[in-house]
Structure 1
Amino acid sequence: MRIEDVDDLAGLDARTIIDTLDRMPVNERPDTFTAQIRPDALIITDDSGEQSFPMPDDEVYVAIAPYEQQTHDCYYHAPVSCVGEQSDTDVDVTITDSATGEAYTDGTVRTFDNGFIGVWLPRGVTADVIIEKDGRTAEGTLSTGNNDDATCITTLQLT
Structure 2
Amino acid sequence: MKRLTVAATVAALMLTGCASRSDGTTEITPSGAVASADATALLAEYGLAGKDTVQVIDHLDRLTLEQRPAADLKASVRPHELVLSRGGRQASLAVPGDRFYLSVAPYVNKTHDCFHHSLTTCKGELAAEDVGVRIVDETHDEVLLDEVRTTFANGFVGFWLPRDINGILQITYGSKSGRTKITTAKESPTCLTTLRLT
1:149 to 2:188 alignment: yes
Q: 1:110 aligned to 150, 162, 171, which one?
A: 150
Gaps of 5+ in 2: 1-40
C-alpha distance in structure 2 between counterparts of 1:21 and 1:13, whole Å: 12
Which one has the largest radius of gyration?
Answer: 2
1:33 to 2:33 alignment: no
Secondary structure of the equivalent of 2:66? helix
Q: Indicate conservation of the 8 Å contact 1:2/1:47, yes or no.
A: no
Secondary structure of the equivalent of 2:172? strand
Change (3 A) 1:64 1:77: same
Q: CA RMSD in A?
A: 1.2
Richer in strand (by share): 1
C-alpha distance in structure 2 between counterparts of 1:134 and 1:47, whole Å: 43
What are the within-5 Å matches in structure 2 for residues 1-159 of structure 1? 2-7=42-47, 9-30=48-69, 31-146=71-186, 148-159=187-198
CA deviations on 1:105-155 (whole Å, 9 max, x unpaired) are 111000001111100000010110000011111110111122x21000000
Q: How many residues align?
A: 157
C-alpha distance in structure 1 between counterparts of 2:87 and 2:137, whole Å: 41
C-alpha distance in structure 1 between counterparts of 2:140 and 2:72, whole Å: 43
What is the CA-CA distance between 1:3 and the residue it aligns to?
3.1
Q: Indicate conservation of the 8 Å contact 1:22/1:79, yes or no.
A: yes
C-alpha distance in structure 1 between counterparts of 2:101 and 2:195, whole Å: 17
C-alpha distance in structure 2 between counterparts of 1:72 and 1:4, whole Å: 32
Matched AA of 1:25: T
What is the CA-CA distance between 1:48 and the residue it aligns to?
4.3
Secondary structure of the equivalent of 2:181? strand
Task: State TM-score, norm by structure 2.
Answer: 0.77
Aligned sequence identity (%): 36
Secondary structure of the equivalent of 1:26? coil
Structure 1 segments of 4+ aligned residues over 3 angstroms from their partners: none
Gaps of 5+ in 1: none
Task: State TM-score, norm by structure 1.
Answer: 0.95
CA deviations on 1:5-45 (whole Å, 9 max, x unpaired) are 112x1232111000000111111101211000001000001
CA deviations on 1:29-81 (whole Å, 9 max, x unpaired) are 01211000001000001114111000011101000000000001000000111
